[in-house]
Amino acid sequence: MLTIGCHLSASGGYLAMAKESVRIGANTFQFFTRNPRGGTAKPVDEADITAFHTYCAEHGISVILAHAPYTLNAAAADPRVLEFCESTMRDDLRRMEYTPGNLYNFHPGSHVKQGTEKGISLISDMLNRVLTPNQTTTVLLETMAGKGSEVGSTFEELRAIIDRVELSDKLGICMDTCHVSDGGYDIIDDLDGVLEQFDAIIGLNRLRAMHINDSMNPPGAHKDRHACIGEGHIGRDAIIRVITHPKLSHLPFYLETPQKDNDGYAAEIAMLRAAAHGA
Ligand code: FE
Ligand code: FE
Ligand code: ZN
């Protein structure tokens, strides 16, 4: 069975997100660990987490993906920005251990005129500071579109970060279909070729989650504007080939499409489940 869900608001807590997932036909979900602009996270509610675990066991929710605020920048030049990134990631990873064995995704960072090499070393230094040997959470580097000075829009850059991290067994990759297409990888006409490249450079064993989004822009545009499935340049058929590919179909898939409400996601999930079933 396809493991698929979407980005949900975390404001009602874990149990509320799990119930909303089931309501919309999902069996996983993604959420922001705190307000995407940063700020403090709500205190951990242990009763909510206990009820959440029971509910997930009963409803077949086996993995969830926490997304770090997108304002973190592990490749920043300003030491205050680096400090904020470090304390936020540390706190997020501590809180993640209340729901052990899940995934924590972050945008590697933007080197802001310092150059890609410097960005890579700053990001790996950050990971070396925040990862701990006993954590059960896998930290995912998201593949980026290459907008501005973003690091991580090529498989080589992601590999270079992983190579410099001591506890690299705690690291994986979340591939975003909009971002890789914008980054210039031809997932529309040569998905097999892209996966071969990924395997040769990073290793498919590192690929732990997929963001499935269509793109408002053509391949290689480096823009990062998500579209609903079938309403962008990637197209519905190419997305269905992703979720049914024998090397990918076991992964959890997350929609981050510009739906106006969760009923929109419900329809998108139903369409993808039906297509995957028929494929
Ligand atoms: Fe993201
Ligand atoms: Fe994404
Ligand atoms: Zn994006």
Q: Where are the beta strands (DSSP E) in 37-160?
A: 65-67, 103-106, 109-110, 138-142, 150-151
Residue 160 confidence (pLDDT) = 98
- 125 φ, ψ to 5°? -60, -45
Spacing, Cα 226 to ligand 3 middle (Å)? 6
Residue 36 confidence (pLDDT) = 76
Residue 37 confidence (pLDDT) = 76
Per-10-residue mean pLDDT, the chain, length 279: 96 97 98 85 94 98 97 97 97 98 98 98 98 98 98 98 98 98 98 98 98 98 98 98 98 98 98 92
Domain ranges for the chain, please list them: 3-278
What is the four-CA torsion angle of 60, 16, 274, 62, rounded to 10 degrees? -30
Closest listed ligand to the CA of 182? 3
Spacing, Cα 47 to ligand 2 middle (Å)? 30
Spacing, Cα 179 to ligand 1 middle (Å)? 9
Spacing, Cα 61 to ligand 3 middle (Å)? 25
Residue 4 confidence (pLDDT) = 98
Q: What is the CATH number of domain 3-278?
A: 3.20.20.150
Q: Which amino acid is at 245?
A: H
Closest listed ligand to the CA of 177? 2
- Among residues 152, 139, 168, the alpha carbon closest in space to that of 67 is found at 139
Ligand 2 is an ion; its neighbours by CB within 5 Å are 176, 211
CB-count burial class (<10 Å; 0-12, 13-18, 19+) for 71: middle
Q: Which residues does the annotation mark as catalytic?
A: 37, 67, 70, 107, 142, 176, 179, 211, 224, 226, 256
Spacing, Cα 243 to ligand 3 middle (Å)? 18
Closest listed ligand to the CA of 147? 3
Instruction: Tell me the two tokens of residue 27.
Output: 């069996």
Task: Tell me how many degrees the CA angle 30-35-38 measures, rounded to the nearest 5.
Answer: 120
Spacing, Cα 92 to ligand 2 middle (Å)? 18
Q: What spatial distance separates the first Cα and last Cα of the chain, rounded to whole Å?
A: 13
Instruction: Tell me the two tokens of residue 103.
Output: 């995934």
Residue 278 confidence (pLDDT) = 83
